[in-house]
Amino acid sequence: MSQTDSNNTTDYGILNRQPKNLNPLLPNKFNFFITKLPETSFSGKNVNIPSITLPEWSQVTNLNPIPRSGLNVVFDPLEIKFIVDRDLNNWAEISNWIRLMGMVKNSNDYAQVKLQQLQPGPEGGLVSDIQVILLTNESVPNIVFYFRDAFPTYLSGIDLSNETENPIAVEATVRFTYSYYDFQTVNSTVEPDE
C-alpha cells in the first residue's frame, strides 16, 4: 500500500470543489433601470428576480408514465415596488404607458405608439428593456439581469387616508411581462495566487 502525499490535493477531489465565495447576497444591494421610466428607476424600493419554470409532460407507457421536460420555459412577471413622488410623475409615466397600449381614449393614441415603435433607439415603441443590477457587499455592481422587451401589465392604485397619524410615503407596485431574461457577471474578481 503506497503512502499518499498530503500536499497532493488531486487525491481529495472534494477539497477542489469548495465554494470560492462565501459572502451572502444581501437583499438591499441592488439598483434597477427602466429605459422608458427614468422617474420610476430613481424611486425604486423593492424588486424581485422572477422564478422560472420548465413545464413537464408525461410519456405514456405500458407501465408508469415517464416524466419528460417541456420545450418552453415560463417566466413569472417582474414586480417592482416604488415610492410615489408628490407630483405623481413616476406613477403617471407607467399609467400613461399602459393607457397608450390599451387605447383608453381612441385608436389614434395607439397608432401614435405604433409609429414610435418604428423609431430607432431604446425608448421607441411599446416595450423597454429593464436592468436589475445586484451589488456586492461593498456596493460594487456584480451581476446584471437583463429583462428583454418588457411592458407593464398592472399598476396598483394609490390609497389615501385622513386617519393616519404618522403618515408614511405612498408606495405603488408595477408588474411587467417580458420575452425572457438573462444575466451576466460584470465584476470579475481575480483570485490571489497561492
The pLDDT assigned to 15 comes to 66
- Which of 68, 67, 92, 65 minimizes the C-alpha distance to 158? 92
In a domain, 60, yes or no: no
Mean pLDDT of 23-42: 80
pLDDT of 106: 64
Mean pLDDT along residues 118-136? 73
Cell numbers given for 167: 403618515
For residue 86, give its domain range.
Answer: 30-54+69-185
| pLDDT interval class at 120 (50, 70, 90) | very low
Residue whose C-alpha cell reads 401589465 in the numeric block: 153
Q: Is residue 192 part of a domain?
A: no
Does position 136 have pLDDT exceeding 70, yes or no? yes
Distance, in Å, from the CA atom of 125 to the CA atom of 101, rounded to the nearest integer, reads 10
Q: Is residue 18 part of a domain?
A: no
The verdict on residue 130 lying in a domain is yes
In a domain, 194, yes or no: no
What does the pLDDT average to over 161-168?
Answer: 85
DSSP per-residue codes, 18-50: S-S--PPPPTT-EEEEETT-HHHHHTEEEE---
* Average pLDDT over every residue of 8-34: 73
What pLDDT digit, counting tens, does each position of 71-96 carry?
889 999 999 999 999 999 889 888 88
pLDDT of 194 strictly over 50: no
Q: Are 46 and 135 in contact (CB under 8 A)?
A: no
CATH number at residue 167: 2.30.110
Number of structural domains found in the chain: 1
Q: Which residue has the higher pLDDT, 11 or 176?
A: 176
**Model pLDDT, residue 51:** 95
